[in-house]
Amino acid sequence: MKTNSLLLCLTLVAALSANAADAKKKDAKKGDGHAAVGYTDTPMLPGGKWHVHDPDRPQPRVVEPAKEVGQPPGDAVVLFDGKDLSNWRDAKGNPSGWIVEHGYMQVPPRGTTGGGDIFSKQEFGDCQLHVEFATPNPPEGDSQGRGNSGVFLLGLYEFQVLDSYNNRTYADGTAAALYGQMPPLVNPVRPPGEWQTYDIIFTAPRFGADGKVSQPAIVTALRNGVLVQNHEAYLGPSGHRNLASYDKTKATAGPIKFQDHGNPMRFRNVWIRPLPETDRN
């Protein structure tokens, strides 16, 4: 009796294993030389394109990460590596007069030639942007007059750069604010003269056939590794003392712009990863 039960069990196990092997074989991608992975007898995900655990869904692209976090990964477009401004221009399309020394670029002193905002020659839409900046030490001025610059996505949407170390100003104008719209969640500030990082994930706005905005510009950002904006929407291109709106723009791509606000601000290690819209569809 006991022997019969054992035999029955063994037979069942063998049958189940054979079924599992059959199912696996059915799911194998024929001819690609890879071991079978995934399932095709699972429910469809919303959108109707892929099964849950679909074996045929494209693999994520391999990207070589940098040896140190903050350095450009393998697929980044390096906009400034500390050597020259060959990837930058001034507002008129001429070479920029910003100073390059000691591995950083700097806004020229007020009253000298070569100042003005600086723009990347290349244009970008959705992107991941890394910027390092240092505010002047010793600091000069107060409020918006101290260590002011800005990172403008599409050349239009300001992510504020300011010395926010013991420097009171209006909250929607402090460092890491969506200027004139939304203060940062917190102020993870470093003192004047020290290098600070912005890691900005930006989704460009979308516009419908009627020209009206169908999805606003969205930003998520970390300052010195701390979350400062979480999927926050811009009301429109940034301005001063006005309410932003999308009335006058339909741009979905543009340059990265750093602002010359009259303070000798420094930037280094600037890189960007353009983000395709449909990478994972």
Q: Does 255 bind Mg ion (CB under 5 A)?
A: no
Contact 176/229 with Cβ under 8 angstroms?
Answer: yes
Choice between 239 and 274, CB closer to Mg ion? 239
Write the binding mask 187 to 216 for Mg ion: x where contact by CB under 5 A, - elsewhere: ------------------------------
Contact 257/116 with Cβ under 8 angstroms?
Answer: no
Q: What is the CA 149 to chain-centroid distance, rounded?
A: 19
d(CA 128, CA 203): 9
Q: Which stretch binds Mg ion (CB under 5 A): 44-52, 63-71, 239-247, 252-260?
A: 252-260
Tell me how far, at minimum, the Cβ of 100 lies from Mg ion, in Å: 21
Choice between 72 and 236, CB closer to Mg ion? 236
Tell me how far, at minimum, the Cβ of 238 lies from Mg ion, in Å: 8
Choice between 164 and 259, CB closer to Mg ion? 259
Strand 157-161 to 149-153 pairing: antiparallel
Choice between 120 and 149, CB closer to Mg ion? 149
**Dihedral pair phi/psi, residue 258, rounded to 5°:** -110, 135
Tell me how far, at minimum, the Cβ of 222 lies from Mg ion, in Å: 19
Contact 134/112 with Cβ under 8 angstroms?
Answer: no
Please tell me the count of residues contacting Mg ion according to CB under 5 A.
3
Does the N-terminal peptide bond of residue 255 adopt cis geometry, omega within 30 degrees of 0? no
Contact 246/229 with Cβ under 8 angstroms?
Answer: no
Choice between 72 and 136, CB closer to Mg ion? 136
Which parts of 119-148 interact with Mg ion (CB under 5 A)? Answer: 148
Tell me how far, at minimum, the Cβ of 140 lies from Mg ion, in Å: 16
Place of tokens 């469809």: 44
Closest residue to Mg ion, judged by C-beta, is 150
Tell me how far, at minimum, the Cβ of 160 lies from Mg ion, in Å: 5
Pick from 275, 252, 267, 260: which is nearest to 110 by CA? 260
Q: Which amino acid, residue 106?
A: Q
Handedness of CA 209, 210, 211, 215 (dihedral sign): negative
Tell me how far, at minimum, the Cβ of 162 lies from Mg ion, in Å: 7
Choice between 240 and 280, CB closer to Mg ion? 240
Choice from 72, 139, 147, 150 touching Mg ion (CB under 5 A): 150
Footprint on this chain of Mg ion (rule: CB under 5 A): 148, 150, 259
